[in-house]
Chain A
Amino acid sequence: MIDPAFLPFAAVLERLASFNPEIVDEAAGVRSYIHTCEIEMPVELDVVRGDDGALQIGSAPPLYYVDTTFRPSFHRVRFIVETPQHSDGD
């Protein structure tokens, strides 16, 4: 089982992609939207083999900001999401 402090990788990706795509300034009468979002960040990984034999990838963003002598091993993830309308126009 994945360490409880870690989330399945899919859950991390879903959370990274769940932001409000619209930026609205009613006073100025401006409505903008984010068509592409690229996130690159360090992650900790917990890779274990489940009962079904498949690998389970647990991941967590850096949890502590304190510089310690015992450093976590930070892997790196880059994640790009875009609106389908934007990708159609590519």
Chain B
Amino acid sequence: MATENTAWQLEDFVDSLVVELDKTRETLAVKSINKALSYSVKEVALDLNIFPNYDGDQVTFITAQPGQQGASKVSIQLGSITDQQVRATSKVPGAKNEIRLNQIDVDKKTRKELRKLGVNSAEDLKELERKNVDIAKVSDNSIDYRKLASQIEKTRRSQNPPKVDAAVLSMDQSQSPYLLIRGQNLATDPRFEPVAVINDKLAEVLFCDENEMRIRITDDHNFSANNEVVLTVDPFAVLRMNVKA
């Protein structure tokens, strides 16, 4: 007799079924190389006796076991489709730096609402924005779009954090000193003007881009042997460093 069956979600079960079907297809494809007359799978259908369970959040199923009666029935049909059909009905798999919904730090309710709307990634959300869909309206105001966009930015930024390679004291043409910061992913958000603080005093940012920042140093900054420099390059990236002169 089989061991106790595990509760499963339909998505998991279909995924496993597809994997099994793919294995069969591969075996039959290899077989067809040596045998002129062989078969390919056209369709697999399963009628399952199951016990559904809804915990208020998601539906899970347990496959009926020997001796168990009163089970419900779920029918799953897997047919073969062509690569053209796959392209027409499926989304291109996510790019390497795509942000999936489960990576974004949002509350469970928002995540559930987004899933219901078919939003699984930041890209899906962007696509809705491009098509002028008011996500707050379609979700009965249960999704705060501004908060969500901010969380996505935060996640995106945490995937590409700023990195400082060097901090050099330099002089401009008028012989005024400035601090030159070199690195990667420094000022990546053009909507935000970086803020620099040297030894607790605000400093003027002369130039900034992804790889370089120039910060003016004045007498007010009391630049000495040890200096604390704090750079806020965007709302989600704050750098604090100790610069030795």
Contact = CB atoms under 8 A, between A and B. Distances in A.
B17 A9 contact: yes
Interface string A49-90: 100001111100000000000111111111111111001000
A59 to B, nearest CB: 9
Interface residues of B, number: 40
Contacts of A37: 39
State the majority secondary structure of interface residues on A.
Answer: strand
A76 B77 CA distance: 12
A46 B20 CA distance: 14
B20 A9 contact: yes
Nearest to B43: A80
B8 interface: yes
B38 interface: yes
B4 to A, nearest CB: 8
A82 B46 CA distance: 18
Contact of B41 (A33, A45, A80): A80
Nearest to A58: B2
Contact of B42 (A9, A58, A87): A87
Contacts of B65: 73
B39 A82 contact: yes
Nearest to B35: A21
Contacts of A54: 12, 15-16, 19
A75 B47 contact: yes
B184 interface: no
Nearest to B2: A46
B159 interface: no
Given A17-B24, A33-B37, A81-B41, A75 B48 contact: yes
Contact of B38 (A21, A36, A76): A21
Interface stretch (B66-74, B86-94, B138-146, B175-183): B66-74
Contacts of B13: 47, 55, 57
B37 A83 contact: yes
A14 B15 contact: no
A83 B40 CA distance: 6
A13 B68 CA distance: 26
A72 B12 contact: no
B3 interface: yes
B95 interface: no
Contacts of A44: 2, 66
A45 B63 contact: yes
Interface string A24-42: 0000000001001100000
Contacts of B1: 3, 5
A17 B2 contact: no
A15 B17 CA distance: 16
Contact of B32 (A33, A78, A84, A87): A84
Contacts of B49: 73-75
Interface of B: 1-3, 5-6, 8, 12-13, 15-17, 19-21, 23-24, 27-28, 31-32, 37-49, 63-68, 71
9 contacts: A9-B16, A14-B28, A46-B63, A47-B63, A48-B6, A72-B66, A73-B64, A76-B47, A78-B45
